[in-house]
Amino acid sequence: MSVGVIGSGKFGLTLSKIISENANKVTIFTRRDNEAESINLSRKSLSGFVLNSKNVRATCAPNDINDCKHIFITTPSHDFSKVVEKFTFEGEEKVIITCTKGLEDNTSRLMSEILLDDFKLDENKLVVLSGPNLASEILNKETTATVLAGKSKSVLEEVNNFLKTDYFIPYYSNDTSGVELAGALKNIYAIVSGYFNGMNVGQNTMGFLLTKSLEEMRLYSQSRGANLSTFLGLAGVGDFFSTALSPDSRNYQFGNYLSKGFSVEESLQRVGDIVEGLRTSKIVYEDCKRKNLNLKILKFLNDVYSRKEDYEGAKKLLFSDKFQSDVSKD
């Protein structure tokens, strides 16, 4: 039986390549007929991504994915529900792995929460994949770890068998929401990192900024029931620092362009791809207002979008008149 991958973006194709090279058949769902044709005829996506294995095929027919027992979802968060509703996830043996990092507009729901609430998935058959996983480095076979989070250890072991190689190494967790929140929130603060880096601040300032950014990630996630220890692992610190310090990160690049005085629209145009952190930062900011959470780095970023803040405000952002505890226990 084939493994299904919904989404033909770079990460979806990267996972397809790994799974197929582990001697599994893979069916990729794409919404573009010409993309499916290119993959099936030339083993190459329209973007030039090469899939050497004959175990891979592409389709535009949702029913081809419905026949798969294990299905990886890699579609962007803004399209998540619209794409997922095309499929039928029925069957006691079916396992769904969501790799999408983001939250839903208005509700602030995670992708796993959408799958559980709207599509009535069995939580024991739901897995979240997240970690420091830059697709370009995985393709170069740089040693990379990821986290598989779920309620059933046996299900996690099934998914591990599809993915584990000598360069791509899964770990497991039972904190589904914590792993997923960490993956979504790090995109926000990668924008912040790119913004400050674009202003040529020193390493002391960057260390200060990134530490306080991680604290804001923790505070918000704890308000949603996540486990603090998750943020000390690969899905938290690992993913955050690899993204926040990487010039290859789209979120980092976006923040860097903002620091040069470009508008949100101009910065997006220069990145030339989806910047998940932009949308997520607005959703989380509104949710923090509802929760009475004062996350000042997050507020600063949202003010940058509307040009209420700039370099002068950035210099004052981390300053406090109060003598504060280093590590908050709240």
Give the residue carrying structure tokens 């729901």: 109
Instruction: Note the maximum CA span of the chain.
Output: 65
A 10 A CB-CB count for 85 gives 11
Q: CA–CA separation, 152 vs 242, rounded Å?
A: 28
Q: CA–CA separation, 156 vs 125, rounded Å?
A: 9
Q: CA–CA separation, 73 vs 76, rounded Å?
A: 9
Q: Are 156 and 210 in contact (CB under 8 A)?
A: no
Q: Are 2 and 66 in contact (CB under 8 A)?
A: no
Strand boundaries in 110-203, DSSP class E? 126-130, 144-149, 168-173
Of 163, 161, 108, nearest in space to 133 by CA:
163
Instruction: Categorise residue 225: left if φ over 0, alpha if ψ from -120 to 50, beta otherwise.
Output: left
A 10 A CB-CB count for 319 gives 6
Structure tokens at 144: 């990379």
* Residue 249 exposed, middle or buried by CB count within 10 Å (0-12, 13-18, 19+): buried
Catalytic positions: 186
Q: 202: helix, coil or strand?
A: coil
DSSP H helical ranges for 95-152:
111-118, 135-139
